[in-house]
């Protein structure tokens, strides 16, 4: 009886959490993981010796703004380094947006990310302009990159739903056009009442169009900004918790502990997801503080300790809010380890999960579409590291393999 033949067999692979245990072989056939076993006897048309390096699912970029990426310094630099000056600068820059402008910068950024092992991305698109140029551009990019990148697009009313006439209708139209999720920014609305109203409107639209929810929530140093409790309450009442994400929630880090303790129980009941953006949060927040300066990041460690799903994002790559950015999720995880004080071995592993499996849960990818198990799509990367501690410590992301259908031409796709 002849041995089983496969398209590709990866030999001597170390999986996440394997530690010193025996390595495995991974067989791939027709872009699907056919087998994962300590020793696969069948041969592959292509045999690759991984030499004990770490093999993991692709990185997940949970939160980025591709429509504003690569615009740092246009039309001017953010001198104060604040969120609000960034919004003002973007308000000027977006007046000159064109479809080609948005698409070119978005694809360039996605290529940068793909070259570093990111194959799943959620991007917010500003839908506060009547032309909806940013949204249309990213929807077209979503289609153009689908062979080598899974892109979700969030309809994000940067100027608030009720901050300008017509924004509510623009948000509704954006979802009808095909955005994957509905966003919001309640702390930027004109009044607290408008902010609460905006959260309820977001849930109404999500139900109307059967969309995911990802809200910029309490991205401010004001300890009185408490829209997170409104989001959690709406999630509990609607039963939509696993489809709901609260991004940033930086004010949570400034809440008094008595209120934070009460809120944590509500958050656990809601089952919503959280996204922290440590590179940006530690940069933008605390600008009005003297000393001591707050770290400006949400309570990542505490949320993780209480069993809530937390993932991490870049948020910005060379734009009015953040002039730096490499597209490497290990940079993000490395910053989280430090700013969130998650330096224990289990905590470092948790930060790695926040840019992989937790991100997949946030994006609602489904268990069948993510992970290294027989029967799942052959989306995986090989890192120049033996474990997640080594990967984060060195921040060296040189993925050997991505979507297998592109194994030969992948480099051309990302150059």
Task: Given the residues 47, 219, 223, 229, select the one marked as catalytic.
Answer: 219
The crossing angle, in degrees rounded to 10, of helices 329-339 and 345-353 is 140
- In this structure, are residues 36 and 410 in contact, taking their beta carbons and an 8 Å threshold? no
Tell me how far apart the alpha carbons of residues 327 and 114 are, in angstroms, rounded to a whole number: 9
The encoded tokens of residue 63 equal 């939160």
Q: Which residue has the tokens 């630099």?
A: 77
Express the helix, strand and coil content of the chain in percent, nearest 5 each.
Answer: 40, 20, 40
Tell me how far apart the alpha carbons of residues 275 and 212 are, in angstroms, rounded to a whole number: 14
Handedness of CA 164, 169, 172, 174 (dihedral sign): negative
| 219 annotated active-site | yes
Continuous segment of H or E residues that includes residue 123: strand 118-126
> At residue 290, what are phi and psi to the nearest 5 degrees?
-90, -105
Tell me how far apart the alpha carbons of residues 313 and 322 are, in angstroms, rounded to a whole number: 13
> At residue 316, what are phi and psi to the nearest 5 degrees?
-135, 145
Tell me how far apart the alpha carbons of residues 407 and 85 are, in angstroms, rounded to a whole number: 43
The residues that are catalytic are 219
């Amino acid at each position: 009886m002849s041995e089983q033949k496969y398209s590709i067999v990866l030999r001597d692979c170390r999986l996440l959490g394997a530690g010193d245990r025996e390595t495995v072989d991974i067989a791939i056939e027709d872009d699907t993981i056919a087998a994962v076993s300590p020793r696969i006897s069948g041969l592959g048309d292509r045999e690759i010796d991984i030499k004990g390096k770490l093999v993991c699912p692709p990185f997940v970029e949970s939160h980025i703004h591709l429509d504003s990426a690569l615009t740092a310094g246009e039309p001017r630099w953010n001198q104060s380094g604040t969120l609000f000056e960034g919004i003002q600068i973007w308000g000027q820059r977006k007046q000159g947006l064109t479809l080609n402008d948005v698409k070119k910068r978005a694809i360039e950024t996605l290529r940068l990310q793909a070259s570093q092992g990111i194959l799943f991305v959620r991007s917010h698109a500003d839908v506060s302009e009547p032309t909806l140029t940013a949204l249309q551009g990213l929807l077209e990019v979503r289609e153009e990159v689908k062979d080598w990148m899974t892109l979700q697009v969030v309809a994000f009313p940067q100027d608030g739903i009720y901050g300008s006439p017509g924004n509510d209708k623009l948000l509704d139209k954006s979802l009808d056009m095909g955005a994957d999720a509905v966003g919001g920014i309640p702390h930027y609305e004109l009044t607290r009442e408008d902010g609460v109203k905006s959260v309820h409107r977001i849930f109404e639209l999500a139900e109307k169009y059967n969309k995911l929810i990802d809200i910029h929530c309490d991205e401010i140093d004001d300890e009185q900004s408490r829209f997170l409790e409104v989001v959690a309450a709406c999630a509990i009442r609607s039963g939509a918790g696993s489809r709901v994400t609260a991004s940033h929630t930086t004010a949570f880090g400034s809440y008094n502990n008595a209120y934070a303790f009460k809120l944590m129980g509500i958050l656990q009941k809601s089952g919503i997801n959280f996204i922290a953006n440590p590179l940006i949060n530690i940069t933008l927040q605390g600008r009005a503080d003297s000393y001591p300066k707050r770290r400006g990041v949400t309570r990542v460690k505490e949320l993780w300790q209480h069993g809530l799903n937390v993932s991490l994002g870049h948020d910005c790559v060379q734009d009015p809010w953040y002039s730096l950015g490499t597209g490497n999720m290990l940079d993000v995880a490395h910053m989280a380890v430090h700013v969130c004080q998650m330096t224990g071995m289990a905590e470092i592993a948790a930060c790695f999960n926040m840019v992989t499996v937790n991100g997949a849960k946030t994006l609602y990818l489904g268990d069948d579409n993510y992970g290294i198990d027989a029967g799942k799509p052959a989306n995986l990367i090989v890192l120049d590291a033996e474990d997640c501690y080594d990967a984060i410590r060195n921040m060296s992301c040189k993925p050997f393999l991505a979507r297998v259908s592109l194994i030969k031409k992948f480099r051309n796709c990302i150059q």
